[in-house]
Amino acid sequence: MSIRDQACVTGIGETRYTRETTRSQAELAFEAALAAIADAGLTPKDIDGVVPYVMGGVIAEDFVTNFGLPDLRYSALTPMGGASSVAALQNAALAVAGGLANHVLITLGRGALSTGRITDRIGQMPQFRLVGEFEMPMGTVAPAQFYAPMARRHMELYGTTSEQLGEIAVTFRKHAQLHDNAMMHKPMTLADHQASRMIADPLRLYDCCLESAGAAAVVISRADMARDLRQPPIYIGGVAEGHPDSPSTITQRPDICRIGLAKAAPKAFAMAGVTHQDIDVAEIYDCFTYIVLCQLEDMGFCAKGEGGAFVQGGRIALGGELPVNTHGGLLSQAHIAGMNHIVELTRQLRGQAGARQVANAEVGLVTGYGDLGDGSIAIMHK
Amino acid sequence: MNAPQYDKPLPDITPLTRPFWDGLRHHHLVLQTCGHCHKVRHYPRPVCDQCYSMDCEWVPGSGHGKLHSWTVNHHPFHFAFKRESPFVTVTVDLDEGVRMQAPLRGADARMLRIGMAVELIFEDVTPELTLPAFKLV
């Protein structure tokens, strides 16, 4: 049995994305959830499954309390950091394909600086226990520092350059300028990227994502119930999660230039029955520019070591061979932990992306990347 | 005792990891090995992923290794590292087949290359805690 095409994205919702907020993560999540449910043409009474964000300050029962869900019969968590949202698609697709639920709500709300800096938050998380004991005491305390040695080794082995990473940042900024709900509209040139201060070499400020406040949500429905809803259904053709070797410390990983997505991607492509040439648009988790480059390689769009050349020359820009992060991504739209990537892919495949629309987008993919290398991927189509 | 209070993050040492930290305090590197198949494992953990034995032994490490990768920390992220930023952190392939990450002392990052030989040094930061660092050989 395969879950290919058994589940659809039927509703999407977002709040405004801002730098800070006085609202709670729960309020933001509820607003986005209500928008997603209405977008699908459903009411909260139709929701019978909930997969909230582990770190989002809400639990599934909060949706019973606030929305009066009459029969919540499926709930789960996907604790994979930035890979959680796309892993939740897998979880929800299984639930509806298996007959456990009809309409599963996936939500993600974040308070950004309003809920403390990332460095303070991750110190409390069990997946960072090893890093906490053996790396943080010597000054490696934040994601930029965890990932910088992966990028440095890639540069040393393959000749990847800071300018190639900059191409990613500049491209996503151009895309964000076409989105009215993007935090960063100010133009960025490659020279601006190169002039931005070094954070953790080789990662500069403009290689790092934003911190944002806001929420996004999607509704996943059983395919046979999706066809009569308000929006055209977007099918989940293939979906998978993957965990790297040594998932809780990059330092001990046999190959630090390879992440969990390398294991997941072949499974998702096989499930969906599509090839790389079929992908019209890709929304790729972009906490750092290097992570985009690494994922392009680990998914097989190019060989390991060729990511730097791959992103050059406009290939990943709107109008290019593989438009990536048409909404601006975490780097320039907002850091909604990749739920905004799922929303954008859905818009692209519905043909609702306005000025950012990829012509004739029929098949696309979205990835997640979390914690110290967890990966997730969904391949979706009209 | 008028020394300024130590304000950097402290390791949350457990009974499982105590021998490693006790070793550093005495300026020795000791590594956990499987009590059954003798595979070296770092960071310390309860189960051998090769033979699934939960027995372990602690053996001396050479403290010698080669550069696997590195970063230069410019933004400190934690206030206590501000006074020494920028500083270099290296990922090292120890001769025993596991890795360590620690600051590199006395070297300019621009001269670093993968495979360069390094040696472990010990930095006493409190009467109870010694942290690892490396220097180029």
| Domain definitions of chain A by residue range | 7-114+210-381
Residue B2: pLDDT over 90:
no
Q: Which residues in chain A are contacts of B81 at CB distance < 8 A?
A: 139, 141
For residue A117, name the pLDDT band (cuts at 50, 70, 90): low
pLDDT of A116 higher than 80: no
- Strand A103-110 relative to strand A214-222, pairing: antiparallel
Q: Is B78 on the interface with A (CB under 8 A)?
A: yes
pLDDT band at A4 (very low <50, low <70, confident <90, very high): very high
pLDDT band at A125; cut points 50, 70, 90:
confident
Q: CA nearest A82: which of A50, A121, A133?
A: A121
What single-letter DSSP state applies at residue B5? P
Residue-wise pLDDT for A23-52, tens only, equals 999 999 999 999 999 999 999 999 999 999
B97 and B119 in a single domain? The answer is yes
B82 in the same domain as B53: no
Together in a domain, B44 and B77: no
- Whether residue B46 is found in the same domain as residue B70: no
How many C-alpha atoms does A118 have within 13 Å on its Cβ side? 20
Sign of the alpha-carbon dihedral angle for A51, A294, A201, B87:
positive
> With bands split at pLDDT 50, 70 and 90, how would you rate the model's confidence at A120?
low
Length of chain A: 382
The answer, yes or no, to whether residue A122 has pLDDT greater than 70, is no
Q: Is residue B126 part of a domain?
A: yes
From the number of C-beta atoms within 10 Å of its C-beta (0-12, 13-18, 19+), residue A166 rates as buried
Do B57 and B68 share a domain, yes or no?
no
The pLDDT, as a whole number, for residue A57 is 86
End position of a domain, from candidates B8, B39, B61: B61
**Residue of B91, B110, B114, B131 for testing the chain A interface, max A β-carbons within 10 Å:** B91
Q: Which of B9, B98, B100 faces A137 most closely, judged by CB atoms?
A: B9
Average pLDDT of the residues in A276-301: 98
Residues B35 and B94 in one domain: no
Domain A7-114+210-381 class? alpha beta
- Which pTM was predicted? 0.97
Q: Are A150 and A298 in contact (CB under 8 A)?
A: no
Number of structural domains chain B divides into = 2
Give the C-alpha separation, A182 to A176, whole Å: 6
Please give the helix or strand (H or E) that residue A194 lies within, else none: helix A190-195
| Contact pairs from chain A to chain B, CB under 8 Å | 107
What value of ipTM does the predicted structure carry? Answer: 0.97
Alpha helices in A100-161 (DSSP H): 118-122, 129-134, 143-158
pLDDT of res. A126? 79
Backbone angles phi, psi at A306, to 5 degrees: -100, 5
Q: Report which secondary-structure segment, H or E, holds A293.
A: helix A289-298
Q: Evaluate the CA torsion angle A331, A334, A339, A342 in order and state its sign.
A: negative
Q: Does B27 touch chain A (CB under 8 A)?
A: no
CB A199 within 8 A of CB B75: yes
Considering only alpha carbons, which residue of chain A is nearest residue B100?
A251
Q: Are residues B56 and B66 in the same domain?
A: no
Does B92 have pLDDT greater than 70?
A: yes
Give the whole-number percent of chain A exceeding pLDDT 90.
93
Residue B2 within a domain: no
Residue of A140, A158, A196 to mutate, interface with B, max B Cβ within 10 Å: A140
Does some domain include residue B25? Answer: yes
Contacts of B91 in chain A (CB under 8 A): 149, 251, 256
Q: What is the DSSP letter of A318?
A: T
- Which pLDDT band holds residue A270 (cuts at 50, 70, 90)? very high
Q: Is A65 exposed, middle or buried (0-12, 13-18, 19+ CB in 10 A)?
A: exposed
Section B77-89 average pLDDT: 95
DSSP state letters, A66-83: HH--S---EE-----GGG
Closest Cα in chain B, distance from residue A116 (Å) = 13
What distance in Å separates the CA atoms of residue B29 and residue B121, rounded to the nearest whole number?
10
Q: What is the pLDDT of residue A114?
A: 60
- B95 and B127 share one domain: yes
**For chain B, where are the E strands, in sequence order?**
30-34, 40-41, 56-60, 64-73, 87-94, 99-105, 117-124, 130-136
- Give the range of the structural domain holding residue B55, as residue numbers without chain letter: 16-61
| Mean pLDDT of chain A, nearest integer | 96
In a domain, B10, yes or no: no
- Does one domain contain both B66 and B54? no
**Can you give the pLDDT at residue A119?**
62
Dist. CA A8–CA B78, nearest whole Å: 43
pLDDT of B1 higher than 90: no
Together in a domain, B90 and B105 = yes
Q: Based on the domain organization, do B83 and B54 belong to the same domain?
A: no
Residue owning tokens 């992923």: B49
